Amino acid sequence: KNEVEQSPQNLTAQEGEFITINCSYSVGISALHWLQQHPGGGIVSLFMLSSGKKKHGRLIATINIQEKHSSLHITASHPRDSAVYICAVILSGSRLTFGEGTQLTVNP
Amino acid sequence: GAVVSQHPSRVICKSGTSVKIECRSLDFQATTMFWYRQFPKKSLMLMATSNEGSKATYEQGVEKDKFLINHASLTLSTLTVTSAHPEDSSFYICSAKGRQLQETQYFGPGTRLLVL
């Protein structure tokens, strides 16, 4: 079993829909990242959080440390949001352990 | 946010040659840099962690003599794939972070290596 599990693996939505991607982890962590990887391969760090909730534009990330669970929400989704979204946790030091990613496709 | 660049973005080389990939932090001092490898439709795999001025720490199964890492300054780390083989073809990504333990890692745009 992976230490970091994401769901769903693939997600197709219509433009404007509210999207949720989930991440569960099995061990104690110091922080969690949500990353976005576009088809060209480049990775952008969307959020790093260790408690509560963060919001940036149409993106919202939440984390529940007790339940070892985080969610990434996208409101009013747009085709340009199509990408792979990756959850990564910091277990010790600075090392990241990655989930398998969620491929999101938003159709116009 | 902070910017990390990688060069080259794409490289094609012949089997047996060596390829150097550069990772630079453009607007901050990167005390730690990470090198990852990514296979198609797979997640990132950490290859090694390098701290400025010291030897890199390699993950289990990663050959340090094949993947040479140098982190000579606070803004530059290099990964050299020596005697490249077709199975080394992959997407290589670096990330960098500053001094504070909890600081965000900033990722480079990646380098796609194809070994013929």
Q: Tens digits of per-residue pLDDT, B3-24?
A: 899 999 999 999 999 999 999 9
Judged by CB atoms closer than 8 Å, whether chains meet at B43 and A99 is answered as yes
Rounded distance between C-alpha atoms, residue B4 and residue B91, angstroms: 16
State residue B5's pLDDT score.
93
Residue A15 pLDDT exceeds 80: yes
CA distance B65 to chain A (A): 22
Q: How confident is the model at residue B1 (pLDDT cuts 50, 70, 90)?
A: low
Q: Report the residue from A41, A86, A94 with minimal CB separation from B109.
A: A41
Of the candidate ranges A9-13, A56-60, B71-75, the one whose mean pLDDT is the lowest: B71-75
Question: At residue A93, does pLDDT exceed 80?
Answer: no
Interval B84-97: pLDDT, tens: 999 999 999 999 98
State how far residue B93 is from chain A, nearest Cα, in angstroms: 8
Give the chain A residue nearest B47 (alpha carbons).
A95
Identify all chain A residues contacting B49, using CB atoms and an 8 Å cutoff.
Answer: 94-95
For range B50-57, the mean pLDDT: 87
For chain A, give the percent of residues with pLDDT over 90. Answer: 74
A94 → chain B, closest CA residue? B101
Largest Cα–Cα distance of chain A, in whole Å?
A: 42
Instruction: Collapse the DSSP code of B98 into the 3-class scheme (helix H, G, I; strand E, B; otherwise coil) and give the result.
Output: coil
Interface of B with A in 35-74 (CB under 8 A): 38, 42-44, 46, 49
How far is the C-alpha of A63 from the C-alpha of B1, rounded, in Å?
22
Task: Give the number of other Cβ atoms within 10 Å of residue B61's Cβ.
Answer: 7
Higher pLDDT among residues B82 and A94, named by residue = B82
Least reliable range by pLDDT among A4-18, B13-27, B32-46: B32-46
Residue A91 has pLDDT above 80, yes or no: no
- Average the pLDDT over A4-9 and give the result: 94
Helix (H), strand (E) counts: chain B: 0, 11
Q: Which of B32, B44, B109 sits opposite A98 (nearest CB)?
A: B44
